[in-house]
Structure 1
Amino acid sequence: MPEKEIKELQAKQETFERQLVQEQHKIQRLENRAAYYEKGDRRKRAHRLITRGAAIESVAPQTKDLSETAFYAFAEQLFALPDTQRLLTEVISNHAGGD
């Protein structure tokens, strides 16, 4: 194989290797971006859960003394009540219509 062909092939190889590295970096950036957005969603959810839990404790301070199991049982019973279901549906309806 003539030396000229070898140099051309080596140059092509270097070009392809550079392109490969660039594409790998693009993939890494996209993966990083996806992880960032996923992490942001988790943070938003955690913040929402914390603030709503704090609101419940603010309105009903007695709930602080409940175990997690007792609190869940209480919440299930509370949200099973027909008046609670009606009120929740009404609040959701008003909220959706007001925004």
Structure 2
Amino acid sequence: MPKQKTIPEPKAEIAANERQLAQLRHKQQQLENRAAYYEKGDRRKRAHRLITRGAAIESVAPLAKVLSETEFYAFAEKALAIPEVKGLLMEAVNEHNKNEFRGD
């Protein structure tokens, strides 16, 4: 016949399970916080890249400052559709890839 548990034994089991549950919830929160931290870092890097590239465009083409956002997008689409500009961009990308492959 199996031994019946006394009242303190189930209470101790419940307390141990509650501690374990609290630990697991804490671990889950840590993992969620870490994921948010890395995601936030990626957003910051992207924002920094967009800002610096926009500043570079304004630096080499100061007239672009007067264009509205819509006008600037239309201009950029037209400029990047020119075959010579597409070719220059492709050259730059190929050079980047070649340097990255070599480890420069």
TM-score by length of 1: 0.95
Q: Which runs of 4+ in 1 moved over 3 A?
A: none
- Write out aligned runs for 1:14-33 (5 A): 14-33=15-34
1:97 corresponding residue in structure 2: 98
Q: Separation in 2 of the partners of 1:97 and 1:9?
A: 67
1:13 corresponding residue in structure 2: 14
Mark the runs of 5 or more structure 1 residues left unpaired by the alignment: none
TM-score by length of 2: 0.90
1:38 corresponding residue in structure 2: 39
Number of residue equivalences: 97
Q: Percent identity?
A: 64
Q: Separation in 2 of the partners of 1:63 and 1:5?
A: 81
> Which structure's residues are more often helix, by fraction?
1
